[in-house]
Amino acid sequence: MKTVKDYIRTIPDFPHEGIMFRDVTTLFSDPRGFRMAIDQLLHPYAGERIDRVVGLEARGFILGGAIAHQLSVGFVPVRKKGKLPGKTIAQSYTLEYGEATVEIHDDALQPGEKVLIVDDLLATGGTCEAGIKLVEKLGAEVVGCAFIVDLPELGGRKLLESLGMKVHMLCEFEGA
């Protein structure tokens, strides 16, 4: 029987030499694989109150939309700076070389709402940490962070757990 990891294609030297790109589009394009991933991402949160699903740009939108649909709750995107119309709040975070900023609509979440954050891959955890801070700035509470792939050598899980987050991932790959 295939696992979620079996559906993920690895592309060497993309987008730069020395990077092993974990391509989840092959998982998304297979109906059995995609259903399996959504079901497994939701499993640890069964019976838990979730009011909104927050998806991190860009593949987190695909997962977040499917999970929100499954739970019959709303979906909220966290986007790169300048991509959302209207009033937003922003959070910057550090990259290997420089800084990036993500935004959320300032009215996307209500105080007290319970939120699940999703993305395809957890590397250093910087984007997710920024997403957590945005959710908390709006007064909502993150109940967990769910990912398809973890790159444990990059320390993202440890970072998120140090923030008190419940972290769930479906598979691990070595290296960057």
In a domain, 32, yes or no: no
pTM over 0.95: yes
DSSP string across 63-84: HHHHHHHHHT-EEEEEEETT-S
Catalytic residue among 52, 57, 79, 96: 96
> Which residue matches tokens 């967990």?
144
CATH number at residue 54: 3.40.50.2020
Catalytic residue among 22, 52, 59, 157: 59
In a domain, 34, yes or no: no
In a domain, 59, yes or no: yes
22 catalytically annotated: no
11-28 tens-digit pLDDT: 999 999 999 999 999 999
Range of the domain at 124: 48-171
Residue 7 has pLDDT above 70, yes or no: yes
In the chain, how many domains are there?
1
96 catalytically annotated: yes
In a domain, 42, yes or no: no
Provide the terminal-to-terminal Cα distance of the chain, rounded to the nearest Å.
27
In a domain, 128, yes or no: yes
In a domain, 160, yes or no: yes
94-104 tens-digit pLDDT: 986 789 999 99
In a domain, 88, yes or no: yes
> Which residue matches tokens 């970072």?
159
In a domain, 150, yes or no: yes
